[in-house]
Amino acid sequence: MKLFSSLLLTVALTVGLATPARADAGIAEQFLSWFEKLADGVVADQNDCAKMSADITKSVDDNKAMLDAAQQAHKNGAQFTGDQVKRMAAAGQKIAQAVVAKCAQDPNVKAAMGRLPGRPQK
């Protein structure tokens, strides 16, 4: 449950619900497409925690420039539209359910999930 709560926090922080500006359509679409693809990959990996953690880490690393641009847009006050928020939440729910199915206690999956954008840094 803690992992699911953290994922919902990730969604809320990434979306920037408290800000009035709309996210740049190109950056928002790139980010959402990446996040939805990531969710599909996590679901596919739900029975192989080692593959799941490796795939999440690789995806974050491979998309660093886009993720940095999306986080900068968030810092500048951008937020998703209502439909984009729904897409983000649906993908986040898919990820949470897949992780909880078997890998929630895996330290490598926890570390990989910690690399997702928008999560509070410890």
Taking Cα atoms as reference points, which of 98, 120, 12, 63 lies closest to residue 106? 98
Find the range with the poorest average confidence among 26-30, 34-38, 50-54. Answer: 26-30
Taking Cα atoms as reference points, which of 107, 111, 87, 110 lies closest to residue 37? 87
Taking residues 15-36, report their average pLDDT: 71
Question: Taking the model in full, what pTM does it have?
Answer: 0.78
Looking at the predicted structure, is the pLDDT value of residue 15 above 50?
no
Taking residues 54-59, report their average pLDDT: 97
Taking residues 18-26, report their average pLDDT: 55
